[in-house]
């Protein structure tokens, strides 16, 4: 028609988010055909990444994720062989999942196995030379880089800042690494030099990965309020947080560039939808009966005495004497169950790296306990069943950025006991009851102050006292705890926190 006006519909511009991570849990299928085959979880970070990918994707955010290609791990967890894996890699479009491949880590089970420094170098080089450029181009130059922990810091964050990409760096733990600059062959280090935090380390000029990431971040986020304060106030010593990293964090905090977002459990970790339980349940069900069924099944698999009325204290953390305090537990475990015959202790976790010392110690203690103590290396289905069986989920951390075992224990209708530090200070509130004279029923567990066997004994003893109360008292309080945890630590609340930071560093503009 003459004079007709053509209406041209313009596609709304989006800002993409690229999550760069050394590990991940099971990814949402909406991220592409390869997503269901990618899971290399080594710790709580992996579950947070999976939950974040799922939540952002559901909200319509253009979410991409880059991680190391660990075919041995992915094949084992997906129950496929090498031929099937290669067929997938060469025939399925990865879409929003970007795998970095290298002979350095092709046969490894974890990004931290083998030579972690070499793994980090290979990973960072590929992200800088290929991945950021490709993902940014796919989205018209609009990209936020969200890096996680030291392995994704270093030259990645320096390059992103140099290219004008806003950077959110999340500190999940205290680990760090210094990488000699000579190892970054193939990267234009001269142009990156103004953005690097360099240090002399073992007689070489090295890149401080964590300090570089913090230096270049538009915002640095932490997974707990108390953890951030412990760093800034110097409560965590130089052996835990290096002075350089501490100073960079202080500078960011002084300039208003720090935030905290507490981790939330993935939806798959709720007892009403877990696939590994003898009986599923939620806060509106007869959950004590369901927990007894799960307890009996767990006792069978762990080699514990079958007793549906036992008070089960559950340790679901790695056997790490430098942070988690496993040596405190092994010193008192046998004496504790002797002093408390109605108590059982279950331990599920691997040693650190290739160190099997505490695995052997836990195994010997279990064998000598007469069915009162059980130990198994980590297997996800068994570990999840343990939460459903537990009366109390506990640990003895020297420090803890966030921790999730308390949240998951509470979701499953268990109390939480741990040392009063970091994330446990943020999330565990002492149980006080009206029937004992308190103004209201409050709290979800028990805290202890001292990092020693006496502190752990005290905390566990208080938990046992609570779990010896009549069933009607425990039922009311545990139901309250299950409900409150779902409100306080929902995935939606965590996504809201990260979305607010993304929009802040995106010039105050929404991502969609």
- Where exactly are the structural domains of the chain? 16-264+492-505, 267-489
If DSSP codes are grouped into helix, strand and coil, which group holds residue 5? coil
If DSSP codes are grouped into helix, strand and coil, which group holds residue 181? helix
pLDDT tens by residue, the chain, 512 residues = 444 444 444 456 899 999 999 988 888 888 887 777 877 655 678 888 988 998 999 999 999 999 999 888 888 877 888 888 788 888 777 789 999 999 999 888 889 889 999 999 999 999 999 999 999 999 999 999 999 999 999 999 999 999 999 999 999 999 999 999 999 999 999 999 999 999 998 899 999 999 999 999 999 999 999 999 999 999 999 999 999 999 999 999 999 999 999 999 888 889 999 989 999 999 999 999 999 999 999 999 999 999 999 999 999 999 999 999 999 999 999 999 999 999 999 999 999 878 899 999 999 999 999 999 999 999 989 999 999 999 999 999 999 999 999 999 999 999 999 999 999 999 999 999 999 999 999 999 999 999 999 999 999 999 999 999 999 999 999 999 999 999 999 999 999 999 999 999 999 999 98
Give pLDDT, residue 8: 44
Give pLDDT, residue 79: 80
**16-264+492-505: CATH class:** alpha beta
Give pLDDT, residue 99: 92
For 137, the enclosing helix (H) or strand (E) is helix 132-138
Domains 16-264+492-505 and 267-489 share a fold: yes
Alpha helices, DSSP H, located in 393-452 = 405-411, 422-427
Q: Are 441 and 453 in contact (CB under 8 A)?
A: no
Domain formed by 267-489, architecture: 3-Layer(aba) Sandwich (3.40)
Q: Are 74 and 38 in contact (CB under 8 A)?
A: yes
Give pLDDT, residue 7: 46
- DSSP per residue over 246-294, as a string? HHHHHHHHHTT-EEE------GGGSTTT-SS-SS---TTS-HHHHHHHH
């Amino acid at each position: 028609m003459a004079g007709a006006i053509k209406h041209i519909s313009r596609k709304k511009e989006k800002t993409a988010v690229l999550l760069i991570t050394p590990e991940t849990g099971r990814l949402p299928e909406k991220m592409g055909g390869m997503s269901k085959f990618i899971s290399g979880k080594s710790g709580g970070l992996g579950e947070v990444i999976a939950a974040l990918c799922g939540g952002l994707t559901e909200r319509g955010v253009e979410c991409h994720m880059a991680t190391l290609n660990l075919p041995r791990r992915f094949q084992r967890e997906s129950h496929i062989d090498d031929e099937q894996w290669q067929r997938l890699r060469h025939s399925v479009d990865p879409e929003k999942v970007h795998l970095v491949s290298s002979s350095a880590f092709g046969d490894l089970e974890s990004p931290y196995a083998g030579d972690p420094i070499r793994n980090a170098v290979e990973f960072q080089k590929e992200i800088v030379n290929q991945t950021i450029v490709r993902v940014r181009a796919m989205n018209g130059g609009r990209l936020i880089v969200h890096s996680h922990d030291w392995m994704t810091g270093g030259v990645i964050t320096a390059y992103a800042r140099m290219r004008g990409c806003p950077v959110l760096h999340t500190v999940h733990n205290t680990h760090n690494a210094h990488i000699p600059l000579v190892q970054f062959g193939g990267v234009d280090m001269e142009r990156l030099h103004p953005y690097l935090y360099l240090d002399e380390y073992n007689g070489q000029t090295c890149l401080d990965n964590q300090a570089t990431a913090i230096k270049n971040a538009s915002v640095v986020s932490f997974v707990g309020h108390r953890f951030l304060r412990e760093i800034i106030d110097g409560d965590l010593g130089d052996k835990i947080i290096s002075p350089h990293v501490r100073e960079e964090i202080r500078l960011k905090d002084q300039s208003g560039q720090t935030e905290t977002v507490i981790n939330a459990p993935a939806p798959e970790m709720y007892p009403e939808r877990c696939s590994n339980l003898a009986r599923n349940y939620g806060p509106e069900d007869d959950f004590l009966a369901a927990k007894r069924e799960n307890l009996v099944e767990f006792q069978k698999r762990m080699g514990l005495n079958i007793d549906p009325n036992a008070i089960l204290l559950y340790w679901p953390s790695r056997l790490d004497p430098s942070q988690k305090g496993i040596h405190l537990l092994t010193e008192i475990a046998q004496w504790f169950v002797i002093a408390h015959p109605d108590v059982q202790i279950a331990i599920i976790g691997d040693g650190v790296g290739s160190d099997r010392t505490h695995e052997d110690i836990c195994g010997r203690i279990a064998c000598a306990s007469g069915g009162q103590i059980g130990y198994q290396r980590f297997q996800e289905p068994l570990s999840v069943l343990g939460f459903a069986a537990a009366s109390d989920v506990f640990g003895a951390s020297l420090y803890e950025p966030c921790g999730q075992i308390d949240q998951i224990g509470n979701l499953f209708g268990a109390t939480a006991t741990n040392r009063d530090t970091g994330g446990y200070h943020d999330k565990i509130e002492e149980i006080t009851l009206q029937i004992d004279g308190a103004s209201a029923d409050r709290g979800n567990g028990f805290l202890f102050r001292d990092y020693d066997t006496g502190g752990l004994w005290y905390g566990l003893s208080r938990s046992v006292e609570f779990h010896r109360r009549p069933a009607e008292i425990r039922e009311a309080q545990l139901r309250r705890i299950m409900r409150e945890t779902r409100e306080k630590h929902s995935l939606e609340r965590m996504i809201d926190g990260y979305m607010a930071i993304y929009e802040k560093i995106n010039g105050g503009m929404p991502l969609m």
